[in-house]
Amino acid sequence: MKTTYREALNQALKEEMRRDDRVFLIGEDVAYYQGAFKVSKGFLEEFGSSRVVDTPITELGFTGLAIGAAMAGLRPVVEVMTFNFALLAMDQVVNNAAKIRYMSGGQLSVPIVIRGPGSAARQLGAQHSQSLEAWFCHVPGLKVVAPATPFDAKGLIKSAIRDENPVIFLEAQLLYPVQGEVGDDDYTIPLGVAEVKRPGTDVTLIAYSKMLLVALEAAGKLAQEGIQAEVIDPRTLRPLDLATLATSAKKTGKVVIVEEGSRRAIKFLSIWRLSTLSVSGRSAGQVFVIARSETTKQSHETKDEIAAFPVVARNDTIRHIRRIGGE
């Protein structure tokens, strides 16, 4: 069945709430407004206000509250209206959610999902356009997931909800309307498993979330020029499926990472560790990163945005890959 990324999430969340009454949705405007991006459409009618909980605009407070509820055995799904606002809850996420299992010597557990759109969209200005995954990936105790397709979104959100660990689940505003094939059944996709989205032999493109679409488009164009790019979506950023990435890197000997975070942020993702892996005698050191430019980041102008973010329309994106892949 073809459906949107938004609808896939809606379905998966509903199915999980039907399956397990410990699961509840909490966040700003998730109930009556049906979510800022309408992911929770129809939830209030079906589950009622005790399980679809509208909060005041207090990210620290309600995220912390949800962590407490998880410690007491519930399975909260926190919707942050966008991840820019999750910064207000950072202390709760880092100091509590991520550490409580460890500090208690395994006595307590925090099975929580914190989800919402987590990257730039169009003309939203500097405060609403950040890609903060590298921050979250830096924290032991958190899992970080960033699906690109409706199919993956559905299977991964289910696994995230069923996971015993706190999971940061990054969606993307521009992906919500994107269509794709989604299974009707109750399938899950395990966290920490990458997928080869397009096989190839000449160069490895690693991309997650909406950059996967950019990478696939680039691979299509490159194929016309005789360069076979292998496109891999890690899907989960922590823990990272390095084995799958490394297998491809060994095969092609060249890796291009396409991501939306700032250029420096990528270094904190362990994807960077690929460059230290030895590939058939030589280092796989040819790891190139195409990322948000430092200077024009979070610009307000559309034409600047094209300059700032990796898009195929931008000639140098494809030129970069062509140069690396064709070498």
Partner 1 sequence: MERAHLLHLYTQMLLIRRFEERTAEMYALGKIGGFCHLYIGEEAVAVGAVDALRPDDYVFSAYRDHGHCLARGSDPKRVMAELFGRSTGLCKGKGGSMHLVDAERRFMGGYAIVGGHLPLAAGVAFAVKYRGGDQVVLCFFGEGAVPSGACHETLNLAALWGLPVLFLCENNRYGMGTPVERAVALYADVAQNAAAYGIEAGRVDGMEVLAVREAVGKALEQVRTRKRPYFLEAVTYRFLGHSMADPAHGHYRTKAEVDEAKKRDPLLLLRTRMLGERLATEADFKRIEQEVAQIVREAVEFADASPAPPVTALEDDVYA
Burial 75-95 (b: 16+ CB within 10 A, else e): bbbbbbbbbbbbbebbebbbe
Largest CA distance in the chain: 60
Binding of partner 1 by 196 (CB under 8 A): no
| Binding segment toward partner 1, per CB under 8 A, in 55-63, 120-128, 177-185, 213-221 | 55-63
Binding of partner 1 by 13 (CB under 8 A): no
Binding of partner 1 by 143 (CB under 8 A): yes
Residue 100 φ then ψ, to 5°: -65, -40
Nearer to partner 1, 106 or 226 (CB): 106
| Binding segment toward partner 1, per CB under 8 A, in 58-66, 148-156, 241-249, 291-299 | 58-66
Site string for partner 1, 161-180 (x = CB under 8 A): --xxx---------------
Catalytic one of 128, 138, 195, 217: 128
Q: How far apart are CA 14 and CA 109, in angstroms?
A: 24
Binding of partner 1 by 102 (CB under 8 A): yes
Cis ω before 150 (30° cut-off from 0) = no
Neighbours of 156 (CB within 10 A): 25
Catalytic status, residue 225: no
Nearest to 25 by CA among 80, 88, 86, 83: 80
Nearer to partner 1, 45 or 164 (CB): 164
One residue of 27, 35, 64, 118 binding partner 1 per CB under 8 A: 64
Closest separation in Å from C-beta 90 to partner 1: 11
Q: How far apart are CA 38 and CA 215, in angstroms?
A: 28
Structure tokens at 113: 């999902």
Q: How far apart are CA 19 and CA 251, in angstroms?
A: 42
Helix (H) or strand (E) holding 326: helix 315-326
At 42 the three-state DSSP class reads coil
One residue of 8, 39, 66, 255 binding partner 1 per CB under 8 A: 66
Burial 188-226 (b: 16+ CB within 10 A, else e): ebebbebbebbebebbbbbbbbbbbbbbbbbbeebeeee
Closest separation in Å from C-beta 37 to partner 1: 24
Nearer to partner 1, 21 or 294 (CB): 21
Nearer to partner 1, 92 or 248 (CB): 92
One residue of 2, 32, 50, 281 binding partner 1 per CB under 8 A: 50
- Are 222 and 325 in contact by the 8 Å Cβ rule? The answer is yes
Nearer to partner 1, 263 or 273 (CB): 273
Q: How far apart are CA 287 and CA 187, in angstroms?
A: 34
Catalytic status, residue 59: yes
Binding of partner 1 by 226 (CB under 8 A): no
Nearer to partner 1, 71 or 289 (CB): 71
Binding of partner 1 by 56 (CB under 8 A): yes
Binding of partner 1 by 217 (CB under 8 A): no
Which are the contacts of 58, defined by CB distance < 8 A and separation ≥ 6?
A: none
Binding of partner 1 by 43 (CB under 8 A): no
Closest separation in Å from C-beta 82 to partner 1: 19
One residue of 13, 23, 31, 70 binding partner 1 per CB under 8 A: 70
What count of residues does the chain have? 327
The catalytic residue positions are 59, 128
Tell me which residues touch partner 1 (CB under 8 A).
Answer: 24, 50, 55-56, 58, 60-74, 91-92, 95-96, 100-109, 140-141, 143, 163-165
